[in-house]
Structure 1
Amino acid sequence: MNILIIPDKFKGSLGTKEVIAAISNGIKKIIPDANLYPVLASDGGDGFLNAVAENLDCEVVTVDTVDPLGRRIKADYLLNHVNRVAYIELAKSSGLELLQVHELSAMKTSTYGTGLQIRDAILKGATSIYVGLGGSATNDGGTGIARSLGYRFLDDSSNDLEPNGENLLKIRTIKNEEAVLSPNGISFYAVNDVDNPLYGAKGAAHIYARQKGANDSEINTLDEGLRNLDAVVQGNLGKNVARNPGAGAAGGTAYGLQAFLNAEFISGIDFVLDLAQVKELLQEEKMDYVITGEGKFDNQTLHGKLIKGVVDLGKNHEVPVIVVCGQTEVAAEKLTSLHITEILEIRDASKPLEYNMENAAALTEKAISTFFKNLTGV
């Protein structure tokens, strides 16, 4: 039996490699001679650098930068000197993972630190830069990145504004004629798998800002700020990209990369699957199953995340797809239309959340073993 394994992490519980190990152990207990094809994937968010490093020969570059609140830190990115390509994971300097719960503030945080990493890559000769989006603690529309490359954001008194969420509403003018580092001649790619526009009911603020510390009033302010940013960008730069699907990724960072750096949007899961040559593998080997999964399988999963990409892959190649997850909130009637053969919810409903998270590996292994035991009658 040939089985392709492409899960996401179980956030707060298991990393992607640990999920792969648990699934593999569960299969091998029942089918010892199964041929397993694990792929370390990412939709552009957490784990993006790991997925790239698994498939490409790159140097790890460590730079001095700042976290979302402007505190000095060191962060890594990947650089392929031969091809002059850099790979940057936004979460490494602008991510939720860098802040304590009480520090979360979509009004105060900035992508400036990610911009410093981009700046370093340019200075080291990169001519193509891929920025993996996801896990951000920010809602600044990418103004932090732009500021690190020399853009200036001015209020109605021509005062410079710090690039963060709360200042978006104050922006009246954008200047870049004094840019200290020109990105001209460099190709930028925003790697992400969400389809949200910049603003509105499905935009960056209303969908994602609450998990970044914003309350109802602040969410409305942030949304108005993103609308204002777009209006000024249209007036000063002639760019009208706010409604492009995916512009709202990472608090509007995708929008900023496109508006300020002419970035192209590319699908994170497609990018990683291409790196791992998964489509070629599916043409060469007949797979019996594709197994994917994540901590929580909900309706947000169906809007362009890694799981959706894997499910589409299975559908296109007519391979049954199994989803393993800690918890599911997707109605059973949607499974057929999504081309999902089975959802294995691993949690023990009689136990508290803490128990299920601490024992996620064992629970995953057990759920997989049970599925294949029932399947084979072993």
Structure 2
Amino acid sequence: MLAPDSFKGSLTAAEVCAALEAGVLRAVPGAEVVRIPMADGGEGTLDCVGAATGGKEVLLDVEDPLGAPTTARYLLDTDRAAAVVELAAASGLPLVDPARRDPLRADTTGTGRLVADAIRRGARSVLVCVGGSASTDGGTGLLRALGFRFLSRSGAELPPGGGALAELDRIDTGGVPANVRRTRFRIACDVTNPLIGPRGAAAVFGPQKGAGPAEVRTLEHGLTRLADVLAEHTGVAVHDVPGAGAAGGTCGGMLALLGAEALPGCELVADAVGLPAALDGADLVLTGEGRIDDQSAGGKVVSLVARLAAGRGIPAVALAGQVVPPLTDLHALGLTAAFSIADGPRALADMSESASGLLAAAAEQAVRLRTA
């Protein structure tokens, strides 16, 4: 059984599966190999769910995180009146050239356009996968595209981005359509960070999006004001809710104003692709991701696969570009072993280019050890 995440910036989960299978078959020609590409709610989730469940891919012209035109896609299942939207498709950090990054102005409006289009086409259940965002806007761009208005004390609508949120005075919901109010929203979340504080969206993820120390303070102030106003408006306090800080606080805004349900992304994907049932009868499970470290046990694909395999008495081996001990928590979850695919000192770019061959070689050796 093969159930890896993608190696971000190098291989998709499906490509990782193909490389692993090549190595398995070198060790055991004729072996029955079951591929289950996985994701944790971030980039690649749409492909994994789409491959397993079908549905129609919809392309839409929307705004990128800084308002420039871009084309993004989402998945629409008309039979089930359901849609899957990947935030990174319209509001992801890779869409913004490093020279253009503006962490105070970046927002999630493009993702909101995708959600609104899905609802207009009949979706009554929308899963939003929130990994990989470029913004720290508390989800206000997404919510604005659904009819919410974020107003200053003078009654003016705030400009896009988290940098303006400190001026938020109230939220106008009068323009939210009835079909949005009737929609069930779920969030595939791959982190447990709260909205604000030292582990919050601005402090932890802001620097990754180009925010310097002063900008992080501005974003923190804005998200705190947003959380206060959300609590006043809805009675839902999201300041310290685990996961509310995901995607620059998008999860927090959706929890409060849309009544969304946040769930671990990899568990949602596992259910959608049928991973638990596919594990039955497996002799060995190979999983992996780009880097395995002490964060991998906190709801990442490797941790879920290890736990499910251990529950069935199946050994699980993880392969990664880099393995950073200690892995005590992963072993406690049931992971048998983890190995780096590096075959010697290599630059990161070289590792990325050679990842497929390195994965195949490592998989072959892991299977030979199992069958010895």
| Fold conserved between structures, TM > 0.5 | yes
- Aligned-pair CA distance for 1:79: 0.9
Report the residue type matching 2:286 in the other structure: I
Preserved contact between residue 193 and residue 244 of structure 2 (Cα < 8 Å):
yes
Normalised by the length of structure 2, the TM-score is: 0.95
Preserved contact between residue 303 and residue 330 of structure 2 (Cα < 8 Å):
no
**Could you tell me which of 54, 59, 62 is aligned with 1:57?**
54
Aligned to 2:103: 106
> Which region of structure 1 is more displaced relative to structure 2, 101-110 or 186-195?
101-110
Report the residue type matching 1:146 in the other structure: L
- Aligned-pair CA distance for 1:40: 1.8
**Could you tell me which of 295, 298, 309 is aligned with 1:300?**
295
Preserved contact between residue 119 and residue 179 of structure 2 (Cα < 8 Å):
no
- Aligned-pair CA distance for 1:359: 0.6
Counterpart of 1:325 in 2: which secondary structure? Answer: strand
Counterpart of 1:102 in 2: which secondary structure? Answer: helix
Matched residue count: 372
> Which region of structure 1 is more displaced relative to structure 2, 86-95 or 287-296?
287-296
Report the residue type matching 1:45 in the other structure: G
> Which region of structure 1 is more displaced relative to structure 2, 67-76 or 175-184?
175-184
Aligned to 1:250: 247
Preserved contact between residue 195 and residue 245 of structure 2 (Cα < 8 Å):
yes
Stretches of structure 2 lacking an aligned partner (at least 5 in a row): none
* Structure-1 separation of matches of 2:217 and 2:300: 25
Aligned to 2:353: 358
- Aligned-pair CA distance for 1:277: 2.0
Aligned to 2:116: 119
* Structure-1 separation of matches of 2:310 and 2:242: 23
Stretches of structure 1 lacking an aligned partner (at least 5 in a row): none
- How do 1:159-174 residues align onto structure 2 when only pairs under 5 Å count? 159-174=156-171
- Aligned-pair CA distance for 1:361: 0.9
**CA 179–286 in structure 1, closer or farther in 2 if over 3 Å, else same:** closer
Report the residue type matching 2:66 in the other structure: L
* Structure-2 separation of matches of 1:343 and 1:57: 33
Report the residue type matching 1:299 in the other structure: D
Aligned to 2:326: 331
- Aligned-pair CA distance for 1:181: 6.3
Aligned residues: CA RMSD: 1.7
* Structure-1 separation of matches of 2:175 and 2:75: 29
Q: Deviations over 1:258-312 (max 9, x none)?
A: 1111111122222222122222233xx3222221111111233222222222222
* Structure-1 separation of matches of 2:317 and 2:127: 30
**CA 181–231 in structure 1, closer or farther in 2 if over 3 Å, else same:** same
Q: Does 1:178 align with 2:203?
A: no
Preserved contact between residue 243 and residue 262 of structure 2 (Cα < 8 Å):
yes
- Aligned-pair CA distance for 1:333: 4.4
Indicate the percent of aligned positions where both proteins have the same amino acid: 37
* Structure-2 separation of matches of 1:374 and 1:55: 31
Aligned to 1:342: 337
Counterpart of 2:110 in 1: which secondary structure? Answer: helix
